[in-house]
């Protein structure tokens, strides 16, 4: 284990309001500075409890989203919030929410990234825990998998391929993961569905308020009523999801993540393996 930097928190409070994709509920998030060792902790406003820390033990990778569950409250679709905090290396923060589902905003982490950057962060006096990957870890099947390999830096690669008949074209996105790269290359990539998926969700009574302008909805001619921000926007968004999902490992990573068609469940499995590896490394070092 190498300790490379100091933990951080926000310089001051930061708020953001929007509606959740699934529930349509309005949620105002208030981010407050927190001491070293707090991690990212979500609270349901007025619940008057100790909140839930966004770590693997409490999180669940589900179809289309990642949730945080506790006995008293539950937080839905946390991955884009976690991606922004981890991408900007903001380690300790309390997140007070007025509803369970995180605001969808434009389907990306960009509005939150702008809000967090405008407040800024400060270093704390405790080193940030870091796992330098020395042995590759891979989870999944031959078709869908996510792996991390040793490297001298943190890097993410997402290989998207829904097959030759899909409206969403095959593409790969690769980037170093730094604050600057996250803010400029990754944070603005929006979530996406096919028209058939969007229609299916709406027939189930979900996302009724969501329009073609609120995320990317693909027909065979490309996004409906919308324009891509990057030619490979879908692969970039999947990379953003990977970063958000791995953030619940609660540590910085030094390694190259390669994701081949992985989703939230596989990402969550890798996050758990990384946290276990980190804990085992720390134990071995303290026993030596």
Please give the positions annotated as active site: 264
Q: Is 108 in the site for Zn ion (CB under 5 A)?
A: no
User: How many chain residues interact with Zn ion (CB under 5 A)?
Assistant: 2
Q: Which is nearer to Zn ion, 91 or 241 (CB)?
A: 241
E strands, the chain, are 6-10, 14-19, 26-33, 40-44, 52-53, 59-62, 65-69, 74-75, 93-97, 121-127, 130-132, 137-140, 145-149, 154-160, 171-176, 192-194, 216-219, 222-223, 252-260
Can you tell me which of 7, 86, 113, 191 binds Zn ion, judged by CB under 5 A?
A: 191
Q: Tell me how far the alpha carbon of residue 133 is from its chain's centroid.
A: 20
* Phi and psi angles of residue 211, each rounded to the nearest 5 degrees, phi first: -110, 175
Least distance (Å) between residue 6 CB and Zn ion = 29
Q: Which is nearer to Zn ion, 33 or 263 (CB)?
A: 263
- Percent helix, percent strand, percent coil in the chain, to nearest 5: 30, 35, 40
The DSSP result for 183-199, as a single string, is: IIIITTPPPEEEHHHHH
For Cα atoms 246, 34, 277, give the angle at the middle one, nearest 5 degrees: 30
Q: Is 241 in the site for Zn ion (CB under 5 A)?
A: yes
Q: Which is nearer to Zn ion, 149 or 161 (CB)?
A: 161
The maximal CA–CA distance of the chain, rounded, in angstroms, is 60
Q: Is 214 in the site for Zn ion (CB under 5 A)?
A: no
Least distance (Å) between residue 191 CB and Zn ion = 4
**Binding range to Zn ion, per CB under 5 A, among 131-139, 161-169, 179-187, 233-241:** 233-241
Is residue 265 within 8 Å of residue 272, measured between CB atoms? no
Contact flags string 124-153 toward Zn ion, x per CB under 5 A:
------------------------------
Q: Which is nearer to Zn ion, 214 or 241 (CB)?
A: 241
**Binding range to Zn ion, per CB under 5 A, among 38-46, 166-174, 206-214, 235-243:** 235-243
Least distance (Å) between residue 110 CB and Zn ion = 12
Which stretches of the chain bind Zn ion, using CB under 5 A?
191, 241
């Amino acid at each position: 284990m190498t300790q490379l930097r100091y933990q951080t928190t926000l310089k001051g409070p930061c708020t953001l309001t929007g509606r959740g994709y699934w529930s349509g509920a309005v949620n105002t998030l208030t981010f407050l500075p927190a001491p070293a060792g707090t991690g990212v902790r979500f609270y349901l406003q007025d619940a008057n409890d100790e909140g839930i820390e966004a770590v693997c033990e409490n999180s669940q990778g589900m179809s289309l989203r990642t949730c945080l569950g506790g006995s008293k409250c539950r937080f839905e679709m946390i991955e884009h919030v976690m991606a922004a905090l981890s991408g900007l290396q903001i380690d300790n923060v309390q997140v007070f929410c007025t509803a369970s589902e995180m605001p969808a905003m434009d389907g990306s982490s960009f509005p939150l990234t702008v809000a967090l950057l405008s407040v800024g962060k400060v270093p704390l006096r405790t080193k940030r825990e870091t796992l330098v990957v020395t042995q590759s870890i891979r989870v999944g099947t031959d078709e869908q998998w996510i792996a991390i390999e040793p490297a001298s830096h943190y890097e993410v690669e997402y290989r998207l391929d829904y097959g030759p008949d899909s409206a969403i074209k095959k593409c790969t996105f690769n980037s170093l993961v730094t604050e600057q790269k996250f803010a400029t290359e990754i944070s603005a990539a929006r979530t996406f569905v096919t028209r058939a998926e969007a229609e299916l969700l709406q027939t189930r009574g979900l996302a009724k308020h969501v329009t073609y302008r609120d995320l990317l909805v693909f027909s065979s001619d490309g996004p409906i009523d919308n324009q891509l921000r990057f030619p490979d926007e879908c692969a970039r968004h999947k990379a953003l999801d990977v970063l958000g999902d791995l953030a619940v490992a609660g540590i910085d990573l030094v390694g190259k993540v390669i994701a081949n068609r992985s989703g939230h469940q596989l990402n969550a499995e890798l996050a758990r393996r990384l946290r276990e590896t980190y804990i085992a490394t720390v134990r071995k070092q303290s026993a030596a």
